[in-house]
């Protein structure tokens, strides 16, 4: 950690300075660290990755909480809340970053402080001016469209070197005296030491045999039956045949009443379905527990990346069967047409925010494997246009075409008409916005949403002209199956259950 004199020197140039200390932590895991440092936090998070998995991030002690609603922005700070009907979330985050000059150290991870949270799918209705239907329930209108928290304290677990960095971001007001700045330094250093002492304490072990009183209560229910979902697919095909859209993504929702601790559910999902994006957002309004395979958008310095994932097959029971399914997937005209449409959409959306001539497809229709399914995936990259930032990029691509359809604006309108009920966090975004402008977000799929005592699971399928309704229904079930299995491990009460409609 830098000394107090170096800290004071930096305050002449920067008003946001990270203090950090690194220790060897070869006997720790992100799970044990979260249990020791963040389990009791009202707003805390754990972000992990198994693909680019050098770092896991744990956030505690939120400095501010930003909650977007349909009619304004609520900001919580130091135990007080204030509502701003004229403000919106993304512009507020932009303004906040512009006001802070951060000291960026090369030996810190790509995310060393900033905002972490989620955007609900319905956030796009404000941006795309999609009208809310008359009579939509208060439950849908009163839920946040997005929540992002600003944490002072961040724990970065380095899987490559088995080390932990405790990062404490210190904000410096312009009017502070030298003595007050020194006090901030010593207070920040003491907080780091206190966390290091807690790391040396004991964590709680997890095993499926522990907490025998925990069990899934009740049944998994859906808002619609299989027949109703298939009917919805037929209606979507009618719109496609009429030329209104080329592709439309429809989803169904599963509900489970339970008493499974949220973090136990995360650990089960993490074990069963490791994915490029693993996250546990422990927010009072709702906890999000996800294992998403798909980037929404990533911005590192000036490089912009989207990675559409569309086209699905279940995993085979043997290596030979896996290879057969790969060929079947690549030769499926319906899947290939759907995928290419979404690549075109991603390309067009990046061209709106990237330097002219810089956008290119760097991977096309590769196969990626997950625990229960395989997917076709492509990657599109570009260089960020001068004068724009990562939040402009996020707004350009949100929500992903892989969870909405093409053309996107009409697809959004038809989803609202056909699905009737708000999606909430499903098909939105989860991720971080760093103080240095880097952005990394995934699509909120393969995710448990826990609200009070209810778990919500949602999964979708892309509908095109020759879609077979029963096959699209099975695709949603295949995508949800890893979540059913995670609930089985965490609560020991369900497998792939008999699904019953409400």
By annotation, the residues acting in catalysis are 375, 402, 426, 446, 462
Q: Exposed, middle or buried by CB within 10 Å (0-12, 13-18, 19+), for 220? A: buried
Q: Contact at 8 Å (CB) between 19 and 188?
A: yes
Q: What is the DSSP string of 321-386?
A: HHHHHHHHHHT-HHHHHHHHHHHHHHHHHHHTTB-TT--EEEEEEEEEE-SSEEEEEEEEEEEBPT
Q: Contact at 8 Å (CB) between 378 and 340?
A: no
Within 8 A by CB and 6+ apart from 269, the residues are 278, 289, 290, 291, 448, 482, 483, 486, 490
Convert 466-484 into a string of H (helix), E (strand) and C (coil).
Answer: CCCHHHHHHHHHHHHHHHH
Name the E strands within 259-326. 277-282, 287-292, 295-300, 303-306, 309-314
Structure-token pair, residue 40: 């009791």
Q: Which residue has the tokens 């919580």?
A: 76
Q: Exposed, middle or buried by CB within 10 Å (0-12, 13-18, 19+), for 495? A: exposed
Chain centroid, CA 498 distance in Å: 29
Axis-axis angle for helices 333-351, 390-397 (nearest 10) = 140
Within 8 A by CB and 6+ apart from 460, the residues are 249, 250, 251, 252, 403, 427, 445, 476, 479
The strand pair at 55-69 and 72-77 is best described as antiparallel
- Distance, in Å, from the CA atom of 322 to the CA atom of 439, rounded to the nearest integer, reads 34
- Distance, in Å, from the CA atom of 313 to the CA atom of 188, rounded to the nearest integer, reads 51
Report the Cα–Cα distance between both ends of the chain, in Å, rounded.
Answer: 57
Query: Alpha helix locations (H) across 379-468?
Result: 390-397, 408-419
Q: Exposed, middle or buried by CB within 10 Å (0-12, 13-18, 19+), for 243? A: exposed
Within 8 A by CB and 6+ apart from 144, the residues are 67, 68, 69, 120, 285
Nearest to 119 by CA among 96, 98, 88: 88
- Distance, in Å, from the CA atom of 452 to the CA atom of 274, rounded to the nearest integer, reads 26
Q: Contact at 8 Å (CB) between 124 and 398?
A: yes
Element (H, E) at 138: helix 138-142
């Amino acid at each position: 950690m830098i000394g107090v004199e170096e800290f004071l020197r930096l305050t002449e140039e920067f008003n946001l300075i990270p203090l950090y200390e690194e220790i060897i932590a070869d006997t720790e895991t992100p799970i044990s660290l979260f249990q020791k440092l963040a389990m009791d936090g009202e707003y805390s998070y754990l972000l992990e990755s198994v693909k680019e998995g050098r770092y896991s991030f744990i956030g505690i002690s939120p400095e501010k909480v930003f909650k977007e609603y349909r009619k304004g922005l609520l900001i919580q700070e130091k135990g007080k809340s204030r509502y701003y009907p004229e403000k919106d979330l993304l512009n507020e985050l932009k303004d906040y970053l512009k006001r802070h000059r951060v000291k960026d150290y090369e030996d810190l991870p790509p995310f060393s402080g900033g905002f972490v949270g989620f955007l609900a799918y319905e956030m796009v209705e404000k941006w795309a001016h999609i009208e809310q239907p008359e009579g939509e329930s208060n439950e849908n209108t009163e839920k946040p469209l997005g929540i992002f928290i600003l944490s002072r304290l961040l724990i970065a677990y380095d899987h490559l070197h088995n080390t932990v960095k405790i990062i404490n971001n210190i904000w410096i007001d312009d009017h502070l005296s030298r003595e007050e700045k020194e006090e901030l330094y010593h207070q920040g250093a003491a907080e780091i030491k206190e966390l290091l002492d807690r790391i040396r304490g004991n964590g709680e072990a997890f095993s499926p045999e522990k907490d025998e009183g925990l069990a899934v209560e009740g049944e998994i229910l859906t808002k619609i039956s299989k027949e109703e979902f298939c009917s919805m697919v037929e209606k979507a095909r009618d719109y496609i045949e009429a030329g209104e859209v080329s592709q439309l993504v429809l989803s169904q929702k599963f509900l489970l009443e339970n008493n499974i601790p949220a973090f136990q559910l995360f650990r089960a999902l993490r074990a069963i379905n490791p994915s490029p994006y693993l996250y546990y957002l422990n927010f009072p309004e709702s906890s999000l527990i996800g294992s998403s395979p798909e980037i929404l958008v990533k911005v590192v310095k000036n490089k912009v990346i989207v990675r559409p994932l569309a086209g699905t097959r279940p995993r085979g029971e043997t290596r030979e069967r896996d290879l057969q399914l790969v060929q079947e997937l690549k030769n499926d005209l319906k899947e290939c047409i759907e995928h290419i449409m979404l690549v075109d959409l991603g390309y067009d959306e990046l061209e709106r925010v990237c330097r002219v001539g810089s956008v290119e497809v760097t991977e096309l229709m590769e196969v990626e494997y997950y625990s229960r399914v395989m997917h076709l995936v492509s990657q599109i990259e570009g260089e960020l246009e001068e004068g724009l930032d990562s939040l402009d990029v996020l707004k350009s691509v949100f929500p992903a075409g892989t969870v909405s359809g093409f053309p996107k604006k009409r697809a959004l309108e038809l989803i609202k008409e056909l699905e009737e009920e708000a999606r909430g966090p499903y098909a939105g975004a989860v991720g971080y916005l760093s103080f240095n402008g880097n952005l990394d977000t995934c699509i909120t799929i393969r995710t448990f949403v826990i609200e009070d005592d209810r778990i919500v699971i949602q999964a979708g399928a892309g509908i095109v002209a020759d879609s077979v309704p029963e096959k699209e229904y099975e695709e949603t079930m295949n995508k949800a199956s890893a979540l059913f299995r995670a609930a089985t491990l965490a609560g020991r009460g369900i497998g792939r259950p008999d699904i019953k409609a409400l």
